[in-house]
Amino acid sequence: MEFKHTTVLLKETIDGLEVKEKGIYVDCTLGGGGHTREIFSRVNGKCTVIGIDQDQIALDYNIEKFAHLGNRFIPVKGNFAEIDYYLQKLNIEGIDGCVFDLGVSSPQLDIPERGFSYNHNAPLDMRMSQDAKLTAKDIVNGWSEEQLFEIISKYGEEKWARRIAKFIVENRPILTTFQLVDVIKKAIPKGARGDGPHPAKRTFQAIRIAVNDELGVLERGLKKAIELLKPKGRISVITFHSLEDRIVKNIFKEATLDCLCPREYPICVCNHKRKLKLITKKPIIPSREELEQNPRARSAKLRIAEKV
């Protein structure tokens, strides 16, 4: 199948890597291969890219697309939280650059049966990996009202989380995306549904994050990627909501410090050493021209750092 996906902040992300010939790069979120293609283009294919993705559709598409590059493109099916394991299996000890493009790809959103979108009626799924066991249906129909409230308020930052959780429990079983949308709309007072994004957006985001453990995976994968960078190696991370961006910002900040001890300590006892320097003091955001061409880019933020 054709894998249509518009890569956000493409030029800025790969500019930040400062790609060099014979370098080794990891595209942690391969998707439609936009970043991988751009990495190769900067050095006429004279580098190696390991592309990681949980989605077999994305992997099959890119295997065909980059077949002419031979073993310079290495596809890996899996979760980027295990980046260290995959590189160890490939006998790769260090990398020159790494890209994380977080969030859900357009094909995942647009294929109804994947169950990610509140705009298509489909079974509640939301798994980024078809091999995973936990689905959105399991969470919506099996988790307690308190558990639902916690994820909707924390991961969705939804002010009506308490009512939505209550209405979900009262209207079980809920088996499809449209059924869930209807319940969410009933839970949110009509006057509060008029302005802003789709009323189901925050709840769907929260459930998707919970299904895929997105924030935990991000924290583990990002820390491992930083360790794997060679000196002067670069890491580019694109986030799409404040929870992701906060994690990236805090991990980058901690990695730029020489000491994590409280200020009142007379001497350092933590043995923490600085690992990164920030290339972007503030995140890069899409230009007006990019937003006109791709409205889905509106919440994207790019942060770049370099291994010291």
- For position 296, what pLDDT does the model report? 80
33 labeled part of a ligand binding site: yes
Average pLDDT over every residue of 133-137: 97
Domain limits for position 182 = 112-212
Asked if residue 51 belongs to a known ligand binding site, the reply is: no
Please determine, for residue 301, whether its predicted confidence score (pLDDT) is greater than 60: yes
**Is 129 within the bounds of a domain?**
yes
Encoded tokens for 203 = 């709840």
53 marked among binding-site residues: yes
**Are residues 282 and 230 both part of a single domain?**
yes
Question: Measured between alpha carbons, how far is residue 103 from residues 10, 219, 304 in Å?
Answer: 15, 14, 17
User: Per the annotation, does 80 bind a ligand?
Assistant: yes
218 in the same domain as 208: no
Q: Does position 290 have pLDDT exceeding 60, yes or no?
A: yes
Mean pLDDT of the 67-84 span: 97
- Of residues 255 and 114, which shows the higher confidence score? 255
Considering the domain architecture, whether residues 55 and 136 belong to the same structural domain is answered as no
Does 108 show up as a binding residue in the annotation?
yes
Write down the pLDDT at residue 193. 80
Q: Is 302 within the bounds of a domain?
A: yes
What percent of the chain is modeled with pLDDT above 90? Answer: 80
pLDDT tens per residue across span 7-66 = 899 999 999 999 999 999 999 999 999 999 999 999 999 999 999 999 888 999 999 999
Q: Beta partners for 52? A: 76
Looking at the DSSP bridge assignments, the partners of residue 25 are 49, 97
Q: Which of 68-72, 133-137, 168-172, 297-301 has the weakest average pLDDT?
A: 297-301
Cα 1 from chain centroid (whole Å)? 23
Do residues 189 and 159 both lie within one domain? Answer: yes
- The mean pLDDT of 56-78, rounded to a whole number, is 96
* Cα gap 149→168, rounded to integer Å: 10
Q: In terms of pTM, does the model score above 0.85?
A: yes
The enclosing domain of 233 has a CATH number of 3.40.50.150
Total structural domains in the chain?
A: 2
Q: Is the dihedral of CA 33, 39, 42, 45 positive or negative?
A: negative
Query: Mean pLDDT for the chain?
Result: 93
pLDDT of residue 190: 87
Question: What per-residue confidence (pLDDT) applies to 109?
Answer: 65
Are residues 198 and 221 located together in one domain of the fold? no
Residue 250 has pLDDT above 90, yes or no: yes
Average pLDDT (274-302) is 94
Determine, yes or no, domain membership for 5. no
Q: 92-127 pLDDT, tens per residue?
A: 999 999 999 997 765 666 677 888 899 999 999 999
Q: Please write the tens of the pLDDT for every residue from 151-173.
A: 999 999 999 999 999 999 999 99
For residue 1, is pLDDT > 60?
A: no
Which pLDDT does position 3 carry in this prediction?
60
Q: Does 244 reside within a domain?
A: yes
Regarding whether 303 and 231 lie in a shared domain, the answer is yes
Average pLDDT over residues 285-290: 95
The CATH number of the domain holding residue 135 is 1.10.150.170
